Amino acid sequence: MTIRAISENGVFRPVDKVDLPDKSQVLFEPRVVGTDNTKTPAMAKIYEILSRTYETGQPDLAQRHDKHQP
């Protein structure tokens, strides 16, 4: 069985429901599976740029989507 968990203040909190009896002791070896890259200055800048809106003058860009496809 693989259980995904998040470490918060020294406590491992399962991401999904875990089917184990209450107060069960378990043995595991934590392995970091990903990091939150949104906290780096470079990623913060990228998300800031992506959050901007632009006025293109086109009321429905989706209507012209296929026109630009090869």
Q: What digits encode the pLDDT tens for the residues 9-57?
A: 889 999 999 999 999 999 988 888 876 656 788 888 888 898 888 787 8
| pLDDT value at residue 36 | 66
DSSP letter at 19?
Answer: -
Query: Which sign, positive or negative, has the C-alpha torsion 47, 50, 53, 59?
Result: negative
CA distances from residue 32 to 4, 5, 10, 35, 36 in whole angstroms, order as listed: 10, 10, 14, 8, 11
Q: Measuring CA to CA, which residue among 33, 29, 27 is closest to residue 15?
A: 33
Cβ pair 68, 56 in contact under 8 A: no
Q: What is the mean pLDDT of residues 1-5?
A: 87
